[in-house]
Amino acid sequence: MPEYNIPKTQRAAIVEKEGSGVTVKNNHPVKSQDQLAPGECLVKLECSGACHTDLHAATGDWPLKASLPLIGGHEGVGVVVAIGKDTVRSPVKLGDRVGIKWLADSCLNCEHCRKGREQNCPEAKLSGFTVDGTFQEYVVSYVNHVTPIPDGFPSDAAASILCAGVTVYRAIKYSETQIGDWMVIPGAGGGLGHLAVQYARVRGLRVIAIDAGEAKRDLCLQLGAEKFVDFKESKDIVGEIKKATGGEGAHAAVVTSAASGGYTQAIDYLRPGGVLMAVGLPGEATLNASIFFTVFKSIKILGSYVGNRQDSMEAIDIAARGNVTVHFETKPLSALKDVYDGMAAGNIAGRIVLDYSK
């Protein structure tokens, strides 16, 4: 059994209060093995993805508020270096490489957990929102919820799969689509969207990407989208989608955009029986849809919130086998404020991964 020297302090990016911005400190305490509760584990992180959700948590613009002060982050990959005393039947051991997701822990015994909706557990703990997350070098997590990372799958490539990948994978999985169906992905050039394009292609779907700008156009088409609609240039988004799909419209839409505009026209461009998967979380915005045409066209509107443990393992496995690739840029933890600024401006194509060796 390997032994690890656990330091008393570490680097961590902390939001002290709502709207205060993020500050990187070099002397944040690290829990020792003796301080871990049964079922907890300490993970020495190699890297962490940065997600738009982390920006929402830091700025406090969601209806749900984060616990402050807070260490954000929920896409961490690292090695288990300690496990709480009296932990029984742990599915992980010291030295295992694991991922930490948005859903840090759940009771596993309530109706939601038993039905595979662990993310809806009333006792759920959320990484980087209700418990400290992965913008630190050592994170406390939970043995029953960390996700094993397959050998040979680079940690920085795996990081963004743990939230962005899992989230869009589950939405596509439950979109009631069949091989050859058309799927529209608003926000397709962003962190979630570019993964949604790929997972949709893995499932045999035909993709129409909606986003803006040449960089995102090039990325979406490179990843396999059959058509790109620039929402800033198009005079008739609905018309373009219907034309591309033979006149009837798309079978499904997975809205990954964090702007409410991504939802506005979905009812119009979905064909009868179409499914709208609501994924992006635009703060206080509401979903405005024609009740008449939602009923008349037999449209389904389904909310899809991250994923459970099985979804996570499936999404990771697909990516580890090379069928989905995260397009990411690596930055040091000290660059987190600049990353947030880029997210707020909407000019980040792909994902950002924070490398803790830098």
Concatenating the DSSP letter of every residue in 247-268 gives TS-EEEEEE--SSTHHHHTHHH
CA neighbours closer than 13 Å in the CB half-sphere of residue 66: 29
Q: How far apart are CA 275 and CA 270, in angstroms?
A: 7
CA neighbours closer than 13 Å in the CB half-sphere of residue 92: 29
pLDDT averaged over every residue in the chain: 94
Judge whether residue 35 has pLDDT over 80. yes
Report the share of the chain in percent with pLDDT over 70. 99
- Confidence class for position 64, pLDDT limits 50, 70, 90: confident
Judge whether 228 and 247 are in contact, CB under 8 Å: no
Give CA torsion, residues 348, 214, 231, 225, to 10 deg. Answer: -90
- Confidence class for position 106, pLDDT limits 50, 70, 90: very high
Residue 93 sits at φ, ψ, to 5 deg, of -135, 170
Judge whether residue 3 has pLDDT over 90. no
Judge whether residue 316 has pLDDT over 90. yes
In this prediction, residue 349 carries a pLDDT of 66
Judge whether residue 325 has pLDDT over 90. yes
Q: What are the helix (H) ranges across the chain?
A: 52-59, 111-114, 155-159, 164-173, 193-202, 214-222, 237-244, 261-264, 266-269, 291-296, 309-320, 336-345
Q: How far apart are CA 347 and CA 28, in angstroms?
A: 32
The mean per-residue pLDDT over the stretch 102-106 comes to 98
Range of lowest pLDDT (50-64, 222-236, 293-307): 50-64
The mean per-residue pLDDT over the stretch 325-353 comes to 88
Question: Which residue segments constitute the domains of the chain, with CATH numbers given?
Answer: 9-163+307-355 (3.90.180.10), 166-303 (3.40.50.720)
Q: From residue 14, give the alpha-carbon distance in Å to each of 19, 21, 57, 303.
A: 12, 8, 11, 31
Residue 339 sits at φ, ψ, to 5 deg, of -65, -45
Judge whether residue 237 has pLDDT over 70. yes
In this prediction, residue 61 carries a pLDDT of 81
**Strand partners for 47:** 77, 355
Q: Which residue has the tokens 């580890």?
A: 320
Please write the tens of the pLDDT for every residue from 141-187.
999 999 999 999 999 999 999 999 999 999 999 999 999 999 999 98
In this prediction, residue 216 carries a pLDDT of 92
Please write the tens of the pLDDT for every residue from 238-286.
999 999 999 999 999 998 876 777 787 888 999 999 999 999 877 677 8
In this prediction, residue 289 carries a pLDDT of 83
Can you read off the two tokens belonging to residue 297?
Answer: 């066209």
Of 326 and 175, the structure prediction assigns the larger pLDDT to 175
- Confidence class for position 112, pLDDT limits 50, 70, 90: very high
Q: How far apart are CA 6 and CA 163, in angstroms?
A: 27
Backbone region of residue 293 per phi and psi (left: phi > 0; alpha: psi in -120 to 50; beta: other values): alpha
Report the share of the chain in percent with pLDDT over 90. 81
Please write the tens of the pLDDT for every residue from 117-142.
999 999 999 999 999 999 999 999 99
